[in-house]
Structure 1
Amino acid sequence: MGKSRGRRFRQMPLSPTGLEQRCDEEDDPDEEPASELLEKVQHPSAEVREYACASISKLLQEQQAIPAFLQRDVVRCLGPLLMDYSLAVRETAAGALRNLSACGGFEVCDDMVSKDIMTPLVALLKECSTGLDANQLSPEKRIEMDKNYTEDIANEAINLLWNVCECSSTAVHIFNKEGCLEAVLRYMKKFSTNVDLAISAANCLQAVTEDNPDLLSSFNASSQQVLETVMLCPESTMKHILLRTLTAGIVWNIKGTIPPGSLGSMINAILKIFSESLAIDAGETIIRMKEAEKNRLKLAVERETEENMSDVTENCVLSEGYDLEEIPKVKKGENDISDFLPPDQRELKEVTALLMAQQTALEIIVNMCCSEDPSDDEWEELSSSDESDFMENLYNDGSGLLMSPLCLSDEVNSAFMNNLIPKKILEKTAFPNSVALDICMHNPSWKPLIKKLNAVQCRALTCLQNILLVSDVDCLGGASLQSIAQHLLQLVFAKIELPTDTEFLEAITSALRALLQTMASKNISQCMTPEQLLSLCEAGMDSSNASVKVNIVSILGISGSILAKGQETAETLKVIGKFLLEVAMKESSLVVAGEALDALFDVFADGKEAEKAAVEIRLLPALKEFQPVFKMRMRKEGKGKYSTDQLCVLDNVKMNLRRFIAYQETLGKSPTCNNEEL
């Protein structure tokens, strides 16, 4: 499962200069400010350059402003400013480029790399890294302000590097070639004094180490020691939990450098960090942090009031004719607490860090659950089987499924069990705390947390899906498959209206599909009533997401194959069969249509009830009529529209359709027909 890419841009408050005011008042699209601002970044005055970069940074937070700046070569204008003699200009220029990379997307990042943004960026990163070690700047670059420019510039630069490396393989190649690893590790070592910088560096390094074998040789004992030190950092803030989680992800990415004898302990250490992250109740944390914020702001109001009262009292004492009645009284509600909200919003940032840590942990756990797709040789072996072996090949172990070989390494499985990972994942699949949701709904700055809470739930459902497929059910903390099924169904049918959110629907249907598959393989009775099954199917097929539809028809196939072995189920099988036939014949996605055919093979493979239902819905004639249509669709739509893997599966479905028709004919359900191959 791919990780979602967030908008990591910099929101920078600007001073009330005439330049900013002019940009804010610029409403006429014909009066484009891009040209003027890009001219001002070349101004001799460092202050003008700084505010021009800050203004550009603000405008680049809006995607509609990006094309105008790209047309005027903003990258080549701002790139040299990363090495400007003014540190303030460096910071604002890096912030503007960071926003461009975050809001512009993959193509813009590729364009930035092609215009050589990496040359000044790498130089800046290395200079900042040296500055961190020296803890001082050269005299001409030192600015007397209460601000650590080296670390602030480094934070902007590392976020820019993170963005472009996540989007551009060329940027990653340059990262490897220029030896940026050492600089990034130095930023991570600042975790005890600047955790934000360390988190940015860890995020960047986690992205760069993913599927990057060329970088592995750069991880020597010293660099591994840095990662180990960060993983063992004792601080317990949510930000440090996030940092440890990201670092554990880096170590997992470079596991190829770990000696075999240390692999087990390394995996256990990683999953221990994930377990600690997942053990925290995000809902309770939101409630607690919101209360902490309220108390802190209340104290700020009281301190401000006391200071104001003190000033008034002193003024009144000095005034002739002093009267107690003249002392102004502070009315209840007169002070708006939001006015005292500090710009860092520390409690909100802590909760955000926790949710990011949990989401990251779940995404990495998904990758730790490994499964192998059928190889080309396996497909060829299956395809070359005789028709007489069709049912045996297709419905192996009585599960009604063509199952891929799945595995979980002994080291990972043992660490999963030791750290109660599956049990904690199951807990995370529940809906977020209603009180916490209410807090977020009624506080605008906290409202974005709702999306993050939902993302954690969806990642947990995806993890549950993988665990059900690759591990023993005993690892789920004693929860039976039936109880897990009831839990998942409660998530689906908890509200009057079925869920429509695409991400949630994909996650919940994937988990249900894996659960039903596991239950079928163990000959455990299914949990969904026919009414629930059809309601879920109707909701899923209304989705525009092909993955949701694939899951839905697969669920129908699994459930139908079990019903076919029961008694007096023909009526339900007829409804399922008609539904799947309609999907196969009318669905615009060839992948979904193929999955629907596969499900039909599952449902009507065997059993007296299935035979009865097949005759009544005229399944065989319908499939024979549809056979040339499917062949034509594959020829017209297959190439160029679908991946090699999808075409491989579709080709297998096409072959199985021919075999299924032949198999049905051998049952004597219809006169012998022309068995011409597709």
Structure 2
Amino acid sequence: MGKTKNNKFKRPSFSSDGLPATPVKQTGDESEDEDSPAAELLDKLQSPSADVREYACASISRVVQQSQTIPGFLQRDAVRKIGPLLLDRSLAVRETAAGALRNLSACGGPEVCEDMVRQDALTPLSALLRECCTGFDMSSSPTMKGQKRTVEDVANEAVNLLWNLCESSSTAVSVFNKAGLLDVLLHCLQRHPQNMELAISAGHCMHTVTEENEELVRSVNAAVFGVLENILSTTHTSMEYTLLRTLAAGSLWNLKSGLSSAQQSQTLTALATTLSHSLSLDAGELIPELWRAESARLSKETTSATESDHTDARPAGHEAEEMEEDVRDEKMNGRKPNERMSKTKNDISDLLPRDRLELREAKALLSAQQTSLEIIVNMCCSDEPSDDEWEEMSSSDESEVCADGMSDTNSSLFSPLCLSAELHTILLNHSIPQQVLKKAEFPSAAALELCSKYPTWKCLLKKMHRVQCRALTCLHNILSSMDTESLGGASGLQAVAQHLSSLVFSSAEALKDEEFLEAVTSALRSLLQIMATKNIPQGMTPQQLMIFCEAATSYELVSVRVNALAILGITGSSLSKEKNTADTLQLIGNALLNIAMKDSNLVVCGEALDALFDVFADGDEAEKAGKNLNLLSSLKALQPGFRAKLRKEGRGKYSPDQLCVLDNIRINLKRFISYLENLQRK
């Protein structure tokens, strides 16, 4: 009990709420109708007219944003029909073809991405990217004269498609490695003086493909590190450069094992400097400033420019850009694809024109801060992440033999980590913990009000919220990996606890947001456990405890319920050592018993029992409360049902690690009943 597993951010798998979990297998009337939009548009791809081919690709990119249309396209071999157009003679067709595949990958989910890779979409995509890189420095060519697109526009769509596929498919990452596409991304990154949009797309893609990619790490050389370090050393103050430097920092962190020990030290300092700068920027002040700058600039324009044909023809990659970002960000803490999404088509933002410079800057700022926090999470996290849905493990003897005969000795998943002395010092010297805590505060009222008021800036509301949620998860890992004194001692921890409690109990709306509640309860759980081990008073009121009791029973997300139960257990255990707390302990115990007896999820039942063991393990107040609850008879009554349910449902519904923990709890329940019986005989 009280052990925590650090959350590690991994690049997300694509998915979209409302889209089928297995879109390739869906059938419907449309898929059987030869006159469907899919059939008509795919036929137009074969037209001898470049304009018709371009129209067809652009139309497909719009249509596939409606999930029900995707099976019709896939059943008609859309990927193999669109793929060759990536190498079309017309740059406009190339760009819209890449955009159509980009939207298909974004809206179709992981299975569609895997299917695209199986259908060899990466072969023409790789050829296109290499041709684009060759054409970057060419002022003109026979294929470019008179065309409104540029090679860099095409490359941007292609890089985004590559990013999508590599996020969702390990096979795509393997193809990326074998095809040597890292050089392509480096070339795109180096275009930042000429085309920041392309460089940022390449930075995102590189941050993705370098994560946990040992094959790639073995192939990197000094030139790769040189490009990334040069980006880190840029002094431009724009928010887009801040984002680009942050993405380069993330890639360097992923590739750090390819550096020598001496280089690692220097690189860590540069990374911390970059992350610290990103987090030090006050979005609450900068967003209103950027809005005022945009308003002043637009007011000086006497006429509003009509959108060019170039902008109108770019729906392929940009109409779903906001949706792609939201889908990527639904990855919190190992969440599985297609799990509890909240994205709907109404959230898809309109094309953000390139002349919306200030809004682009604001988006880049928030993306940089979100990415910075995710990098810090991984810095403070185990290199051996677990995919368990149950985020916590029991405290029973780690030498205890589990149900499958294996010993539960993998403590690296659960034990608080000790950072290397060097990394620990670097993070403290750059005030990273303090900056993380500031980002965990609610966004400023002024920024929220402004973004709520103006529709074009409304897309920033979710981004500010994500920064806060990532900061809370980051805080959870920092608490688990740094010593108490580094975090300000007892008074510092109490201040943090007060702040986190204020976030949880500040409004009814906060308790309705499961993503937020998952993040804040994880951080609070970690903090309270540390405070308990240090005998630091926690100050939780009975009213606050009742809210956690309600959270433990009413939320669909298992991790929120588990966190709430653990917080009840930690707090109750601390209260059992104080005087005149029997009534509060009885309140906690009653809630835990009800959950242990009635919850349909064995993981939640197990956590409730584990918390009971903590609360009533020792102390006169705990003994008094236990007798008032008839705790012994209640546990005896639920024991057979728990054992039977574990035998009946366990291996079919829960992972081996979960079964191991549940079996430990079964053993501990038997021991705890014996302990209570001995108390009663005294």
Task: Classify the TM-score, shorter chain.
Answer: 0.7 to 0.9
What CA distance in whole angstroms lies between the structure 2 residues aligned with 1:615 and 1:303? 77
* Matched-pair contact (CA < 8 Å) for 2:63–2:69: yes
Give a deviation string over 1:163-194, Cα, whole Å, max 9, x none: 00111111111101111111111110111111
Deviation at residue 3 of structure 1 after TM alignment: 5.1
Match of 2:184 in 1: 183
What CA distance in whole angstroms lies between the structure 1 residues aligned with 2:383 and 2:621? 35
Residue 481 of structure 1 aligns with an amino acid whose one-letter code is L
- Aligned match of 2:474 in 456, 463, 483? 463
Matched, 1:265 2:266: yes
* Matched-pair contact (CA < 8 Å) for 1:41–1:53: yes
Aligned length: 599
Deviation at residue 474 of structure 1 after TM alignment: 3.6
- Aligned match of 1:66 in 70, 85, 100? 70
> Within 5 Å, which residues of 2 pair with 1:138-287?
138-139=141-142, 141-145=143-147, 147=149, 149-287=150-288
Alignment partner of 1:616: what SS? helix
Residue 211 of structure 1 aligns with an amino acid whose one-letter code is E
Further displaced range: 229-238 or 554-563: 229-238
What CA distance in whole angstroms lies between the structure 2 residues aligned with 1:586 and 1:580? 10
Structure number with greater Rg is 1
Deviation at residue 382 of structure 1 after TM alignment: 3.1
> Within 5 Å, which residues of 2 pair with 1:328-339?
none
Deviation at residue 537 of structure 1 after TM alignment: 2.5
Deviation at residue 655 of structure 1 after TM alignment: 1.5
* Matched-pair contact (CA < 8 Å) for 1:577–1:600: yes
Alignment partner of 1:436: what SS? helix
Matched, 1:369 2:373: no
Match of 1:603 in 2: 615
Alignment partner of 1:597: what SS? helix
- Aligned match of 1:92 in 87, 91, 96? 96
Match of 1:50 in 2: 54
Matched, 1:135 2:138: yes
What CA distance in whole angstroms lies between the structure 2 residues aligned with 1:122 and 1:145? 23
What CA distance in whole angstroms lies between the structure 2 residues aligned with 1:254 and 1:41? 41
* Matched-pair contact (CA < 8 Å) for 2:200–2:243: yes
Deviation at residue 264 of structure 1 after TM alignment: 2.1
Matched, 1:620 2:632: yes
Match of 1:440 in 2: 451
* Matched-pair contact (CA < 8 Å) for 1:372–1:404: no
* Matched-pair contact (CA < 8 Å) for 1:373–1:405: no
* Matched-pair contact (CA < 8 Å) for 2:552–2:565: no
Match of 2:20 in 1: none
What CA distance in whole angstroms lies between the structure 2 residues aligned with 1:518 and 1:381? 20
Deviation at residue 52 of structure 1 after TM alignment: 1.2
Which structure has the higher relative contact order (CA within 8 Å, separation 6+)?
A: 2
Give a deviation string over 1:38-60, Cα, whole Å, max 9, x none: 11110011111111111111222
Matched, 1:487 2:499: yes
- Aligned match of 2:441 in 427, 430, 433? 430
What CA distance in whole angstroms lies between the structure 2 residues aligned with 1:295 and 1:561? 58
Give the alignment's TM-score, normalised by structure 2.
Answer: 0.83
Distance 1:380 1:660, change over 3 A: closer
* Matched-pair contact (CA < 8 Å) for 1:57–1:95: yes
Match of 2:551 in 1: 539
What CA distance in whole angstroms lies between the structure 2 residues aligned with 1:521 and 1:480? 15
Further displaced range: 647-656 or 35-44: 647-656
* Matched-pair contact (CA < 8 Å) for 2:551–2:560: no
- Aligned match of 2:37 in 22, 33, 38? 33
Give a deviation string over 1:486-536, Cα, whole Å, max 9, x none: 111211222256521000110111111111111101111112111211123
Distance 1:262 1:303, change over 3 A: closer
Deviation at residue 381 of structure 1 after TM alignment: 4.8
Match of 1:350 in 2: 361
Matched, 1:661 2:673: yes
Distance 1:229 1:255, change over 3 A: same
Matched, 1:109 2:110: no
Deviation at residue 585 of structure 1 after TM alignment: 1.0
Residue 87 of structure 1 aligns with an amino acid whose one-letter code is L
* Matched-pair contact (CA < 8 Å) for 1:567–1:609: yes
* Matched-pair contact (CA < 8 Å) for 2:558–2:604: yes
Distance 1:41 1:424, change over 3 A: same
Structure 2 regions of 5+ residues with no counterpart?
A: 1-7, 17-29, 306-351, 387-392, 403-407
Matched, 1:560 2:562: no
Distance 1:405 1:626, change over 3 A: same
Give a deviation string over 1:592-633, Cα, whole Å, max 9, x none: 111111100000000011111111111111112211211111
What CA distance in whole angstroms lies between the structure 1 residues aligned with 2:509 and 2:681? 42
What CA distance in whole angstroms lies between the structure 2 residues aligned with 1:596 and 1:239? 47
Distance 1:437 1:547, change over 3 A: same
- Seq. identity, %: 54
Distance 1:146 1:403, change over 3 A: closer
Alignment partner of 1:668: what SS? helix
* Matched-pair contact (CA < 8 Å) for 2:14–2:110: no
* Matched-pair contact (CA < 8 Å) for 2:437–2:475: yes
Give a deviation string over 1:518-574, Cα, whole Å, max 9, x none: 110111111211121112321343111100000001000001011111111111111
What CA distance in whole angstroms lies between the structure 2 residues aligned with 1:373 and 1:213? 14
> Within 5 Å, which residues of 2 pair with 1:450-529?
450-476=461-487, 480-495=492-507, 499-529=511-541
Deviation at residue 89 of structure 1 after TM alignment: 0.8
What CA distance in whole angstroms lies between the structure 2 residues aligned with 1:252 and 1:621? 54
Match of 2:129 in 1: 125
Structure 1 regions of 5+ residues with no counterpart?
A: 10-25, 305-340, 386-392, 394-401, 671-678
Residue 167 of structure 2 aligns with an amino acid whose one-letter code is E
What CA distance in whole angstroms lies between the structure 2 residues aligned with 1:381 and 1:363? 31
Deviation at residue 410 of structure 1 after TM alignment: 1.6
Residue 430 of structure 1 aligns with an amino acid whose one-letter code is E
Give a deviation string over 1:132-189, Cα, whole Å, max 9, x none: 2x424542x1222454x21111111010000001111111111011111111111101
Deviation at residue 275 of structure 1 after TM alignment: 0.6
Give a deviation string over 1:445-489, Cα, whole Å, max 9, x none: 211211111111011111111111110234346861111111112
Deviation at residue 195 of structure 1 after TM alignment: 1.0
What CA distance in whole angstroms lies between the structure 1 residues aligned with 2:510 and 2:629? 29
What CA distance in whole angstroms lies between the structure 2 residues aligned with 1:43 and 1:537? 64
- Aligned match of 2:595 in 576, 583, 586? 583
* Matched-pair contact (CA < 8 Å) for 2:188–2:202: yes
Alignment partner of 1:382: what SS? coil
What CA distance in whole angstroms lies between the structure 1 residues aligned with 2:377 and 2:195? 30
What CA distance in whole angstroms lies between the structure 2 residues aligned with 1:445 and 1:497? 24
Give the alignment's TM-score, normalised by structure 1.
Answer: 0.84
CA RMSD of aligned residues (A): 2.7
Deviation at residue 5 of structure 1 after TM alignment: 4.6
- Aligned match of 1:413 in 424, 447, 451? 424
Matched, 1:449 2:460: yes
What CA distance in whole angstroms lies between the structure 1 residues aligned with 2:512 and 2:505? 12
* Matched-pair contact (CA < 8 Å) for 1:374–1:404: no
Distance 1:8 1:511, change over 3 A: closer
What CA distance in whole angstroms lies between the structure 2 residues aligned with 1:259 and 1:419? 23
Distance 1:374 1:620, change over 3 A: farther
What CA distance in whole angstroms lies between the structure 1 residues aligned with 2:398 and 2:497? 35
